[in-house]
């Protein structure tokens, strides 16, 4: 029955994400070689263009739907898988039979891999043999007990054997798989997991040198913070506290810059390490007597470095939080000192205002006296000029006018002060 559902724009994309990285079917005997190149953010277009140099050849056949993240093609008797990740790009070559690395590279276009962008971060060689051609007991007997530490275990619930020493041979980490009863598609998944374990292991370890460098810087910053807090206890002036606040702010800026520079690297290392652990679990190993499993070997050798990175990252965060708390404490202390100074300033302003008010009141009294004096003089002159028409002497009229003029002047000044007070408030 036809339906008219309105489909989400990303429905098909999200659904197909389950099939975004299918494993390659592998049958023993076979050889697999993989190279991973660390690329910069501006090298992603060059990585796609480099892959196009191979896929645009007329003798190349695409074996799955192409995408901007992964693709599998057939070139002669080789199958080449390309994966494009956020930080790296990888090329994995599958070849049936038992040819060596040089023979496999000779089947590719000359210097094609060498011309790609980025720097080599991981190279893996997986040698897949059948149990008939290479019995596990004979392979184990041939291991030198005094040589490099060998990782040996049964994988896929006992259907195969895995051997490696995690040393570089001809610039590559070598794994040997002896196929007892592993299904071809399951064998392809195991090969992919081994490649991812080595690639993600190297990418996770990129944070270890950064952790060592940051750890040395953290020790210096922690000493500076301790000295600043000691100086803060002895600071007794607002100026000295301002200087301390400036030094503390500068320290906070240095720490935050370090956090910003290394936060991605430490976060990526933790994510890559979890992927390594997950891929190791997926191998479903069984221990062989006298040998370490791949998971156990990685836990002993890789976990300390990852724990160091995690510890340095925690120290960074804790130091940043301590600086923030101390900065807030110092700012509060400075603010309190400023408020105290402001309060003292306000008290001084109030004292001066009261003094000014008293001076103003005194000036008003003098104004009343001055107005009364000049007013009485005017009355006296008028009285002398008109003494022929006045019933009293000019002196008596002047004496009577003095309190009247004083009262009128005092009342007028009082009214003026009230109007000014009302207009201000």
Split at pLDDT 50, 70, 90, the class of 2 is low
pLDDT at 422: 67
pTM of the model: 0.77
- The reply to whether 228 falls in a domain is yes
- The reply to whether 13 falls in a domain is no
- My answer on whether 225 and 136 are in the same domain is no
List of residues 6+ apart from 397 with CB closer than 8 A: 379, 380, 383, 390
- My answer on whether 211 and 195 are in the same domain is no
CA–CA separation, 121 vs 199, rounded Å?
A: 8
Assess contact for 195 and 34: CB atoms under 8 A. Answer: yes
pLDDT at 65: 63
Q: Which domain holds residue 376?
A: 357-424
- My answer on whether 142 and 259 are in the same domain is no
- The reply to whether 251 falls in a domain is yes
List, for residues 78-108, the tens digit of each pLDDT value: 999 999 999 999 999 999 998 999 999 999 9
List, for residues 213-262, the tens digit of each pLDDT value: 999 999 999 999 888 888 877 777 777 778 888 888 899 899 999 999 99
- My answer on whether 134 and 174 are in the same domain is yes
Instruction: Calculate the alpha carbon distances from 266 to 38, 127, 388 in Å.
Output: 17, 33, 114
pLDDT at 297: 94
Assess contact for 294 and 151: CB atoms under 8 A. Answer: yes
Mean pLDDT score of the chain, rounded to an integer?
87
Residue where one domain finishes, among candidates 204, 220, 235 = 204
- The reply to whether 46 falls in a domain is yes
Assess contact for 125 and 33: CB atoms under 8 A. Answer: yes
- My answer on whether 328 and 367 are in the same domain is no
Mean pLDDT of 144-165: 90
Backbone angles phi, psi at 346, to 5 degrees: -65, -40
Residue where one domain finishes, among candidates 344, 374, 389 = 344
Residue where one domain finishes, among candidates 277, 312, 344 = 344
pLDDT at 330: 76
- The reply to whether 4 falls in a domain is no
Number of H helices, E strands in the chain: 9, 10
Rg, Å, the chain Cα set = 45
- The reply to whether 323 falls in a domain is yes
Mean pLDDT of 50-54: 93
- My answer on whether 275 and 333 are in the same domain is yes
- The reply to whether 8 falls in a domain is no
- The reply to whether 373 falls in a domain is yes
Greater confidence, 307 or 356? 307
List, for residues 396-424, the tens digit of each pLDDT value: 777 777 888 778 877 777 777 777 666 65
Q: Looking at the 3D structure of the chain, how many domains does it have? A: 3
The lowest-confidence range among 58-67, 80-89, 190-199 is 58-67
- My answer on whether 67 and 97 are in the same domain is yes
């Amino acid at each position: 029955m036809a339906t008219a559902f309105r489909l989400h724009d990303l429905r098909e994309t999200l659904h197909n994400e389950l099939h975004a990285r299918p494993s390659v079917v592998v049958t023993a005997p076979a050889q697999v070689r993989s190279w991973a190149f660390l690329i910069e953010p501006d090298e992603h277009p060059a990585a796609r263009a480099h892959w196009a140099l191979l896929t645009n050849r007329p003798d190349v056949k695409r074996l799955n739907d192409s995408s901007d993240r992964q693709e599998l093609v057939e070139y002669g008797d080789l199958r080449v898988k390309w994966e494009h990740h956020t930080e790296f790009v990888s090329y994995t070559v599958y070849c049936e039979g038992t040819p060596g690395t040089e023979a496999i590279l000779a089947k590719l276009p000359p210097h094609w891999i060498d011309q790609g962008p980025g720097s080599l971060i991981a190279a893996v060689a997986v040698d897949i043999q059948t149990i008939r051609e290479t019995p596990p007991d004979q392979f184990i007997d041939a291991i030198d007990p005094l040589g490099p530490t060998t990782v040996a275990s049964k994988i896929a619930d006992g259907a195969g054997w895995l051997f490696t020493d995690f040393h570089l041979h001809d610039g590559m980490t070598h794994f040997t798989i002896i196929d007892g009863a592993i299904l071809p598609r399951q064998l392809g998944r195991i090969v992919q997991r081994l490649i991812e374990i080595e690639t993600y292991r190297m990418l996770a370890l990129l944070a270890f040198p950064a952790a060592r460098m940051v750890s040395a810087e953290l020790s210096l910053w922690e000493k500076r913070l301790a000295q600043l807090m000691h100086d803060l206890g002895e600071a007794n002036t607002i100026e000295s506290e301002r200087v301390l606040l400036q030094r503390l702010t500068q320290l906070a800026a240095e720490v935050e810059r370090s956090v910003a520079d290394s936060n991605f690297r430490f976060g990526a290392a933790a994510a890559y390490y979890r992927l390594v652990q997950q891929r190791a679990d997926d191998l479903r190993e069984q221990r062989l007597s006298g040998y370490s499993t791949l998971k156990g070997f990685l836990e002993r050798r890789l976990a300390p470095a990852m724990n160091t990175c995690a510890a340095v990252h925690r120290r960074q965060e804790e130091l940043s939080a301590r600086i923030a708390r101390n900065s807030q404490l110092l700012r509060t202390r400075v603010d309190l000192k400023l408020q105290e100074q402001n309060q003292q300033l306000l008290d001084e302003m109030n004292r001066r205002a009261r003094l000014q008010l008293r001076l103003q009141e005194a000036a008003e009294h003098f104004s009343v006296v001055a107005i009364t004096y000049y007013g009485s003089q005017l009355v006296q002159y008028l009285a002398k000029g008109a003494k022929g028409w006045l019933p009293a002497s000019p002196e008596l009229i002047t004496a009577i006018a003095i309190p009247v003029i004083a009262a009128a002047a005092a009342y007028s000044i009082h009214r003026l002060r009230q109007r000014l007070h009302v207009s201000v408030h």
